[in-house]
C-alpha cells in the first residue's frame, strides 16, 4: 500500500500534464482520420433545420454511409435543441461540441468523485480535484467515451445533464432536468424511477410536466410532424439502425445475435427484461438503503441501457462513473475486485471493433456461437453489476454510508 500511495501521489502531481497528453493524443487520432469524423453529429447539424420545414422525418443525412442511411431519430424537441448549432459552419460546430463533451466528461468525473468522497472532499479537496484530472485523462481512453467523440454523439452531454438533475437538491430543477433530457432523447426518462425510489414525488411530477412541455413544443412547431413521430415512428427501432450489429449492446441486440433473428419483444426478450428489472430493483433498494447516491443513479441508468431496443456501445459512458465508484466507493473488497476485473478489459480494449471486423455486414443478424457470446459483454456485465450491488450493499458497513449530493 505504501508503494501504491507513492505512485498515486506522483500521478496526482503530474495529473494536469497527463490530461494534456491524453487530450493531444486523442485529438491526433481523430484529426488523422482514425475516427468516424463525427458522423452522428453531422446528422444533427444537417437535419435539425428540417424541423421548421415539416420534413424532418422524410430526409436522411447527405453524409450517411452507403450501407446505412441516417435519418433524424429523436423527437422534434431534439431538433429544436440542436438548431443553434446549425448556425455555425461545420468545423466550428464540430470542435465546439468536442470541447463541450470533454468538459462534460470532466464534470461527470468530478461529480462522481465528490459523491463517493463525501466529507473527505471538504477535508482534502485538492487531492480529489487532482484525481478528477487524472481520471479524466484515463477515461478518454475508455471505448464508449472515445467512440462518443468518434461519432460526435451526445452521450456525455446527456449524462452530465442527467447526473446534475438527479443530484440537484431543488425538486423543480431536478425534475425539469430529467424531463428536458428525455424530450431530446427518450432513454433518460428511466431516471424517473430514481425519483420514485427516493420518494422525491415532486421531482417526479416536475419531470413529467417538463417532458410534456417538450412534446407540446414539437406539436406547436408542426402538428403533423410531431403526430407522425409519436404515433407512427415512435418505437420503430429498425429505423434507428440495425438491431443485431455488434454496436448494439442492449438485451435485444445480444439476444438477436444469439437467436439468429430480431427477437423483438417476444418471450426471450420478455424473460430477460423481467430478470433485468427484478435485479435492478433489488440493487436500487440496496443503494437507497445504503444512502449511496452514485450507485443508485447508475443502477437506474444501466437498467435503461438494458431495456432500450438499441443501446449503442458508446451509450455505455455510464461505466465511467461506475469505475470511480468501484475504486473509491463503500463496497466489499470481493465485489470491487470482481467488477473491476470484468469491466476494465472490455472498456479499454475495443471488443466492439473486434466483433465488427468479423460480422459480414451490420445488417447480418446471426453470429457464430463464440462471437455471439462475446457480443453479450456489456449487457452480461451490467446484469452482473446489478446482482453484485444488490448483494454487496447489504453488509453493515455499506449501510453506514451517508447520503451525499453534489453541492
Q: How many CB atoms lie within 10 A of CB 84?
A: 10
Burial zone of 162 (CB within 10 Å; 0-12 exposed, 13-18 middle, 19+ buried): buried
Taking only the tens place, the pLDDT of each residue in 62-120 is 888 877 889 999 999 999 999 999 999 999 999 999 999 999 999 999 999 999 998 88
The residue ranking higher by pLDDT, 86 or 11, is 86
- pLDDT tier for residue 377 given thresholds of 50, 70 and 90: very high
Q: Over 90: is that where the pLDDT of 209 sits? A: yes
Taking only the tens place, the pLDDT of each residue in 299-321 is 999 999 999 999 999 999 999 99
Contacts of 281 (CB under 8 A, 6+ apart): none
- pLDDT tier for residue 36 given thresholds of 50, 70 and 90: low
Which has the minimum average pLDDT: 211-220, 230-239, 333-342?
Answer: 230-239
Q: How many CB atoms lie within 10 A of CB 334?
A: 11
Query: What does the alpha-carbon distance between residue 61 and residue 42 come to, in Å, rounded to a whole number?
Result: 7
Taking only the tens place, the pLDDT of each residue in 319-367 is 999 999 999 988 888 999 999 999 999 999 999 988 888 888 888 887 7
The residue ranking higher by pLDDT, 206 or 69, is 206
Q: What is the pLDDT of residue 392?
A: 87
Portion of the chain with pLDDT greater than 90, in percent: 72
* Cell numbers representing residue 213 in the block: 412541455
Which has the minimum average pLDDT: 60-64, 142-146, 205-209, 316-320?
Answer: 60-64
Find the mean pLDDT for residues 183-204.
Answer: 96
Q: What is the mean pLDDT of the chain?
A: 90
**Measured CA distances, 197 to 95, 119, 191, 282 (Å):** 39, 24, 10, 11
Find the mean pLDDT for residues 219-248.
Answer: 90
The residue ranking higher by pLDDT, 399 or 89, is 89
Q: What is the pLDDT of residue 402?
A: 42
Q: What is the pLDDT of residue 403?
A: 42
Q: Over 90: is that where the pLDDT of 396 sits? A: no
Query: What does the alpha-carbon distance between residue 171 and residue 389 come to, in Å, rounded to a whole number?
Result: 27
Contacts of 371 (CB under 8 A, 6+ apart): 257, 355, 358, 359
Q: Over 70: is that where the pLDDT of 169 sits? A: yes
Answer yes or no: pTM beyond 0.75. yes
Find the mean pLDDT for residues 140-158.
Answer: 95
Find the mean pLDDT for residues 44-50.
Answer: 95
Q: Please report, for the chain, the start and end positions of each structural domain, with discontinuous segments joined by +.
A: 1-234, 241-407
Q: What is the pLDDT of residue 397?
A: 44
Amino acid at each position: 500500500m505504501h508503494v501504491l500511495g507513492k505512485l498515486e501521489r506522483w500521478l496526482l502531481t503530474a495529473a494536469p500534464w497527463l490530461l494534456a497528453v491524453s487530450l493531444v493524443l486523442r485529438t491526433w487520432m481523430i484529426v488523422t482520420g482514425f475516427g468516424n469524423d463525427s458522423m452522428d453529429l453531422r446528422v444533427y447539424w444537417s437535419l435539425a433545420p428540417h424541423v421548421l420545414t415539416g420534413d424532418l422525418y422524410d430526409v436522411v443525412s447527405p453524409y450517411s454511409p452507403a450501407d446505412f442511411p441516417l435519418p433524424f431519430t429523436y423527437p422534434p424537441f431534439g431538433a429544436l435543441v440542436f438548431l443553434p448549432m446549425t448556425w455555425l459552419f461545420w468545423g466550428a460546430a464540430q470542435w465546439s461540441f468536442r470541447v463541450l463533451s470533454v468538459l462534460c466528461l470532466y464534470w461527470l468525473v468530478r461529480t462522481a468523485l465528490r459523491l463517493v468522497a463525501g466529507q473527505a472532499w471538504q477535508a482534502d479537496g485538492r487531492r480529489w480535484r487532482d484525481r478528477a484530472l487524472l481520471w479524466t485523462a484515463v477515461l478518454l481512453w475508455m471505448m464508449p467515451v472515445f467512440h462518443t467523440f468518434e461519432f460526435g454523439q451526445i452521450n456525455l452531454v446527456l449524462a452530465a445533464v442527467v447526473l446534475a438533475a438527479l443530484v440537484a437538491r431543488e425538486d423543480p430543477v431536478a425534475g425539469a432536468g430529467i424531463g428536458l433530457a428525455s424530450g431530446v432523447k427518450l432513454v433518460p426518462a428511466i431516471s424517473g424511477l430514481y425519483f420514485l425510489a427516493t420518494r422525491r414525488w415532486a421531482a417526479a411530477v416536475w419531470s413529467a410536466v417538463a417532458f410534456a412541455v417538450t412534446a407540446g413544443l414539437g406539436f406547436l412547431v408542426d402538428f403533423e410532424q410531431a403526430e407522425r413521430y409519436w404515433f407512427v415512428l415512435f418505437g420503430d427501432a429498425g429505423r434507428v439502425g440495425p438491431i443485431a450489429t455488434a454496436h448494439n449492446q442492449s438485451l435485444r441486440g445480444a439476444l438477436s445475435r444469439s437467436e439468429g433473428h430480431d427477437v423483438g419483444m417476444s418471450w426471450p426478450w420478455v424473460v430477460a427484461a423481467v430478470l433485468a428489472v427484478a435485479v435492478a430493483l433489488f440493487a436500487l433498494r440496496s443503494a437507497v438503503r445504503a444512502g449511496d447516491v452514485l450507485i443508485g443513479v447508475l443502477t437506474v441508468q444501466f437498467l435503461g441501457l438494458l431495456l432500450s431496443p438499441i443501446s449503442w456501445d458508446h451509450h455505455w459512458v455510464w461505466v465511467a462513473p461506475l469505475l470511480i465508484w468501484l475504486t473509491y466507493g463503500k463496497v466489499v473488497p470481493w465485489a470491487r475486485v470482481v467488477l473491476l476485473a470484468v469491466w476494465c478489459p472490455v472498456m479499454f480494449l475495443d471488443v466492439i471493433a473486434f466483433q465488427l471486423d468479423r460480422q459480414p455486414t451490420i445488417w447480418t443478424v446471426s453470429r457464430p456461437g463464440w462471437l455471439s457470446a462475446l457480443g453479450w459483454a456489456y449487457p452480461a456485465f451490467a446484469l452482473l453489476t446489478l446482482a453484485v450491488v444488490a448483494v454487496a450493499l447489504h453488509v453493515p458497513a455499506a449501510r453506514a454510508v451517508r447520503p451525499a449530493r453534489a453541492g
